[in-house]
A and B are shown apart, each in its own frame.
Chain A
């Protein structure tokens, strides 16, 4: 953890979030409060999907799929 992060006063950083996490969480709250038809248009921006594998010394570890699909 960088020194800047340790000295931060932001409640979300103390809880372990990065700025991107914080900003995306804010964005999601805004998206959920939209009127139709904007709400359905915004649903397309909610998806998160990727699969990550950690490697150690050339050997693949466990694959972790991170998935958030719109409700």
Chain B
């Protein structure tokens, strides 16, 4: 089964499973009609208590579908786990390049500027837990903090949410960044697009990969070269205490801010990608655990139903036989 088909099946099945779990009813995944006559568990649904129990076949169908869900989510977890190792190595290697720039130019999210460009970085595909919602939440806070904020979205999941919340503040949307392995070239091209919007302050919002189970929302700030000059004059960073061997100060700061944006964006996209894989691994693990729990409960139900049916038949036979005997 292709990954996308697996994904669709899993999404549909997981959502049905979650609904089922909450209500405790015995609906099959495909039927969306009212509960069958004869639900066992929730008598509060308004169904009389003395009607027939659910049929054996219905339970068997449910068991098969839950078993499929378990297989799909397990497979997705394996895929994510296998990709995670490579992604983690690449991500950790990219962290080093950010440090010299942060050290030289500082990282000042609190700088007062006229407008801010918020760049939330999210994944394109779903079923990866709560990381994208976390990024959108922090982006909305940053938006509220700076009234003239514009948004440049990376990743489809954030776009869907932000399009609903702030449709008129979005400048650009960049997707499909992970279709091919991410390179510094791609990050540079996207960084160029971001710099072309000439924002005094740009803030990247992403999830940093702290460990396979922990993803920290992070905000990285890049100031434009004019802001950097102001910051250097005010002593916020120590740029002016350095000798310059290169082009003159303004141009140098411009080159530095562009390179810093490229390095930060490359690192941010890799961190978010790795977080996505780790989060997907986690949530698929939870799904398959839930599915196996559900399967256990269903197996018990199946056996009870089977035994009840046998007992009912026996009772009928015996009562029929005893009524014949008593007649004689």
Contact = CB atoms under 8 A, between A and B. Distances in A.
Interface of A: 1-5, 7-10, 13, 18-21, 23-24, 27, 44-55, 57-58, 60, 65-66, 68-69
B262 to A, nearest CB: 5
Interface in B268-302: none
A13 B250 CA distance: 13
A7 B249 CA distance: 11
B250 A7 contact: yes
B192 A18 contact: yes
Contacts of B226: 2-4
A63 B29 CA distance: 37
Contacts of A52: 172-174, 190, 193
Contact of A51 (B170, B175, B185): B175
A65 B250 CA distance: 33
Contact of B259 (A5, A23, A27, A54): A23
Contacts of B175: 50-51, 53
A8 B251 contact: yes
Contact of A3 (B176, B179, B193, B250): B250
Interface in B214-268: 224-226, 247, 250-251, 253-255, 258-259, 261-262
A24 B181 contact: no
Most chain-A Cβ atoms within 10 A of its Cβ — which of B175, B181, B185, B198?
Answer: B185
A53 B171 CA distance: 9
Contacts of B183: 44-48
B319 interface: no
B189 interface: yes
B142 interface: no
Contact of B190 (A10, A18, A23, A50): A50
Contact of A50 (B176, B247, B250, B259): B176
A23 to B, nearest CB: 7
Most chain-B Cβ atoms within 10 A of its Cβ — which of A13, A18, A24, A66?
Answer: A18
Given A10-B247, A55-B173, A58-B163, A24 B254 contact: no
B262 A20 contact: yes
Nearest to A49: B180
B191 interface: yes
B94 interface: no
A55 B171 contact: yes
Contacts of A57: 167-168
Contact of B177 (A3, A45, A50, A53): A50
A17 to B, nearest CB: 9
Contacts of A5: 251, 254
B65 interface: no
